[in-house]
Amino acid sequence: MTHAYQEIYLSNAQAALGEAFDYAIHDCRIPGEQFVKLFAASTISRRMENGEPDCLAGKSGIELAVDVLSETTGKAPKAASSEHFGRSREYWIGWATAYYQWWSDRKYSEIFKAVSFEELQELYTTLHEADISKFVDIMDARLREVFSDTNLKRIRLNYGCTQAELAKRSGVSLRSIQMYEQRNKDINKASAETLLSLSKVLGCTMEDLIEK
């Protein structure tokens, strides 16, 4: 499986996002569901997804939270960071979600669209002492359930293109497109030429068409 970025940054990313959630929710008094939306909408989340070292390892969690809130609300938080003994529930949510994002290479916006902050709080009760793989399994099943359409179908529909139109413009056979969208044919094994032809028509990258 292709992960979001190099594993050497993973532990730092987990700690930073955990601290960001803890600081924003506990010290800045931002409701968890609101901070999730602000984070997912920010450039910080996308920079973390892209594996930018200054976000993954160059900033503390408090600095990340300040950047998120400053960017999305126009106001920098002034709350001081309080001292915590042990991981809070909110810290664990950020920590575990960062791991799943790295493992799955999905966008944070997709993750938080599929699983609400309230649901993550409920998972904490049973999973915070369990191996992280159990969290991954539950999250992956939920994401696959919510995003049941293939990337090809989702992107094609958003673009406003029929299967026949895509076939004509890309040169990829209509039958192949149908089979890719029905998961009867694995698009991850398609040739680079096929992926390039489809992506050019749909205005996306080749990687956007790959199934995680």
For 10-48, how does the pLDDT look when each residue is reduced to its tens digit (9 = 90+)?
999 999 999 999 999 999 999 999 999 999 999 999 999
**Which residue stretches of 77-150 are H helix?**
89-104, 108-114, 117-127, 132-146
Tell me the C-alpha distance between 184 and 53, whole Å: 38
Name residue, tokens 């529909």: 157
Return the SS3 of 21: helix
Tell me the C-alpha distance between 73 and 33, whole Å: 15
User: Residue 25 carries which DSSP code?
Assistant: I
For 106-157, how does the pLDDT look when each residue is reduced to its tens digit (9 = 90+)?
889 989 999 999 999 999 999 999 999 999 999 989 988 888 889 999 899 9
pTM to 2 decimal places: 0.75
Name residue, tokens 């994401």: 143
Name residue, tokens 């995680």: 212
